[in-house]
């Protein structure tokens, strides 16, 4: 437990502060408890209500949304109404995974792989304990191609990009390896790993590689040095 708390403290201190204008805007939107609880799905409310209060829900599971006044960011809620253990860790898992993946990218000096910045945002009026009821995650929005288009880009990935991405994913033992979580960016030179949660039951290297070859043409992968 002490090791976990120490790890959490180190992690939180290593994450950069949320930009001031984002903090201020979110404070004004989420200071209304009805908006906060509606966004989190704790209290039923329709999308129209949230929209009128400055938040757009973009996902039927009520976990993703954005604030139109903050176009460069996405807001993700955690798990609510689920068992306590799961409900506690989604948000911190997203942040921890993003930091780990970014450290791997930096260590490798990979230039074709990006990890969006993620911040924990404390919901006004909620207790400070780091669990999914009290925070949302603010995510740097990446300029990604559409999902159908992405599948094709991923399948036909250039060897230079495939090689770096394979290294990052294998070192991280990335779990949810598919084209809804890893996207080509508009520059067509860089891919972003947008879903950054890593899970305790890590897959083996072989299983990671098998998944990678379902996303990227195995002929390309097998020809990599």
Ligand X SMILES: Nc1ncnc2c1ncn2[C@@H]1O[C@H](COP(=O)(O)OP(=O)(O)OP(=O)(O)O)[C@@H](O)[C@H]1O
Rule CB under 6 A: which residues touch ligand X? 63-64, 74, 76, 94, 116, 139-142, 144, 180-181, 194-195, 197
Closest approach of Cβ 181 to Mg ion, in Å? Answer: 4
Residues in 168-187 that interact with Mg ion by CB under 5 A: 181
- Structural tokens at position 159: 């060897």
Closest approach of Cβ 141 to ligand X, in Å? Answer: 4
Toward ligand X, which CB reaches closer, 23 or 181? 181
Closest approach of Cβ 32 to Mg ion, in Å? Answer: 29
d(C-alpha 176, C-alpha 23), whole Å: 30
25 touches which of Mg ion, ligand X, none (CB within 5 to 8 A by kind)? none
76 touches which of Mg ion, ligand X, none (CB within 5 to 8 A by kind)? ligand X
Quickly count helices (H) and strands (E) in the chain.
9, 8
Query: What DSSP assignment string belongs to 105-131?
Result: HHHHT-SSEE---EEEEEPTTS-SSSS
131 touches which of ligand X, Mg ion, none (CB within 5 to 8 A by kind)? none
Q: Is 211 in the site for Mg ion (CB under 5 A)?
A: no
Q: Is the dihedral of CA 167, 172, 175, 179 positive or negative?
A: negative
122 touches which of ligand X, Mg ion, none (CB within 5 to 8 A by kind)? none
d(C-alpha 171, C-alpha 175), whole Å: 11
Closest approach of Cβ 176 to ligand X, in Å? Answer: 7
Toward Mg ion, which CB reaches closer, 29 or 154? 154
∠ CA(95), CA(141), CA(184), 5° rounding? Answer: 100
Contact 168, 105 (CB under 8 A): yes
Task: Give 207's strand partners.
Answer: none
Task: Give 185's strand partners.
Answer: 144
Strand, coil or helix: 16: coil
Strand, coil or helix: 223: coil
Instruction: Please select the residue that binds Mg ion; options are 132, 133, 195, 197, rule is CB under 5 A.
Output: 195
Closest approach of Cβ 198 to Mg ion, in Å? Answer: 12
Toward Mg ion, which CB reaches closer, 23 or 176? 176
Toward ligand X, which CB reaches closer, 140 or 167? 140
DSSP letter assigned to residue 155 = H
Interface residues with Mg ion (CB under 5 A)? 181, 195
């Amino acid at each position: 437990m002490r090791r976990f708390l120490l790890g959490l403290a180190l992690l939180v201190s290593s994450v950069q502060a949320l930009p001031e204008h984002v903090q201020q805007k979110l404070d004004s939107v989420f200071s209304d408890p009805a908006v906060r609880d509606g966004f989190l799905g704790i209290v039923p409310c329709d999308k129209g209500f949230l929209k009128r209060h400055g938040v757009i829900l973009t996902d039927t599971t009520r976990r993703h949304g954005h604030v139109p006044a903050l176009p460069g960011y996405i807001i993700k809620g955690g798990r609510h109404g689920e068992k306590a253990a799961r409900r506690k860790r989604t948000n911190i898992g997203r942040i921890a995974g993003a930091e780990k993946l970014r450290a791997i990218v930096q260590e490798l000096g990979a230039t074709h792989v990006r990890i969006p910045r993620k911040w924990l945002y404390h919901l006004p009026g909620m207790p400070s304990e780091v669990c999914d009821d009290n925070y949302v995650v603010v995510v740097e929005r990446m300029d990604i191609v559409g999902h159908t288009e992405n599948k094709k880009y991923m399948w036909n990935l250039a060897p230079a990009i495939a090689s770096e991405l394979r290294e990052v994913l294998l070192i991280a033992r990335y779990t949810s390896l598919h084209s809804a979580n890893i996207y080509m960016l508009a520059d067509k030179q860089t891919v972003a790993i947008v879903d950054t949660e890593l899970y305790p039951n890590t897959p083996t290297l072989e299983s990671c590689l098998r998944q990678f070859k379902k996303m990227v043409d195995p002929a390309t992968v097998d020809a990599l040095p």
